[in-house]
Amino acid sequence: MSTSLRQCERIARDEGLAAGLAMAIAGAEVATTAPGRWAAVPAESVRAGAEVRHDSLAAREGVTFLACQGRPPAAPASLAEIGRLLAAVRLGLVRRLLDHAVEHLSERVAGDEPLIRKQLITGTVADTMAEVELLREQAHAPHDPAALSDLHLRLDELGWQVLTLFGAAGYLADHPARALHVSFLVANTWIDREGVPE
């Protein structure tokens, strides 16, 4: 698999979750590679007649869940690679939504100033980017299952941190921040964290 982490992050940032996911799993035989009974895939990649599970939020992101064998006898190396590429996709989404949040917070005023100037908000923006820089390096690390699991748990937390910047608006099903909710679900189908200590 020659797709680079950088490409995955870039396409997710520019085009969103489904495009990033398509790149992360390109070339993989999904049904025999995915670690669970269902695997997130771009909806447009699903062949007619294939068994899928529909999720209303994921569908709006162009993502659906394909039935898989689950528990391949030996996790292929390509699964670990997908895990790393998916981490890059999630980093790209964090950047995409952070850009959006900063724009939103620059327009929204509390008291006499835009929210983006409030120190607690500035702190969250800074913490988010510091974590992005750190996790990007972690995604380059060797294919250790525990490290990969930890990486995605941190991405769960990071996605949540960005979601808080939108307030209640980020909880609307038709808000762009929906991608962060769905990316949590997507990662849940591709990352095998069972048995990895907390």
Partner 1 sequence: MIEFDDRLRAIRDRHREAAEDLRSRALAIDADPEAMEPHLDSPAYLMIRESSMPAAHRTSATAAASPDRGSCLENIVGLVELFRGDVGALLACPSPALAGVFVELLGDAAQKERFYRRISDGRTWSFFAMTEAGRGNDATAMETRLERDGSGGWLLHGAKRYIGHGARGGVGVVFGRTGRSALSIRAALVELPVPGWHAERLDMVGLRGAFLSELRFDGLPVAGDMLLGEHLPVTRRGIWGALTTFNNMRMQIAAAAVGTALAMAEYVAEHRKGAPGAEPVAARAEAARHLVYEAAARLDRSPERGYLSSAAKLGATRMAVETAHWAAAALGPAGLLEHPLLEKWTRDVRAFEFMDGTGNIQRLHVARGYRSGDADA
Contact 13, 100 (CB under 8 A): no
Q: Does 164 bind partner 1 (CB under 8 A)?
A: yes
Distance CA 62, CA 64 (A): 7
The nearest distance, CB 113 to partner 1, in angstroms, is 13
Measured CA to CA in angstroms, residue 127 lies from 9, 18, 74 at distances of 19, 26, 38
The nearest distance, CB 52 to partner 1, in angstroms, is 11
- Identify residues 120-149 at the interface with partner 1 (CB under 8 A): 120-121, 149
Q: Which DSSP string corresponds to 126-160?
A: HHHHHHHHHHHHHHTS---HHHHHHHHHHHHHHHH
Number of residues that bind partner 1 (CB under 8 A): 46
* 114: helix, strand or coil: strand
Q: Does 43 bind partner 1 (CB under 8 A)?
A: no
- Identify residues 45-64 at the interface with partner 1 (CB under 8 A): 53, 55, 57
Q: Does 153 bind partner 1 (CB under 8 A)?
A: yes
Q: Does 117 bind partner 1 (CB under 8 A)?
A: no
- Piece of 3-11, 91-99, 133-141, 178-186 that binds partner 1 (CB under 8 A): 178-186
Q: Which residues is 53 bridged to in the sheet?
A: 65
Find tokens 């990033």 and name the residue: 20
Among residues 147, 183, 189, 192, the alpha carbon closest in space to that of 162 is found at: 183
Q: Which residue type is seen at 160?
A: W
Q: Using the rule CB under 8 A, which residue among 77, 110, 126, 141 binds partner 1?
A: 110
Q: Using the rule CB under 8 A, which residue among 93, 163, 179, 183 binds partner 1?
A: 163
The nearest distance, CB 3 to partner 1, in angstroms, is 21
Q: Exposure of 18 by Cβ count < 10 A (0-12 exposed, 13-18 middle, 19+ buried)?
A: buried
- Piece of 5-13, 89-97, 136-144, 150-158 that binds partner 1 (CB under 8 A): 150-158
Find tokens 């025999």 and name the residue: 32
- Identify residues 21-40 at the interface with partner 1 (CB under 8 A): 34-39
Look at the alpha carbons of 198, 127, 186, 45 in this order and tell me if their dihedral is positive or negative: negative
* Residues contributing to the site for partner 1 (CB under 8 A): 34-39, 53, 55, 57, 65, 68, 70, 108, 110, 118, 120-121, 149, 152-153, 156-157, 160, 163-164, 167-168, 171-174, 178, 181, 184-185, 188-198
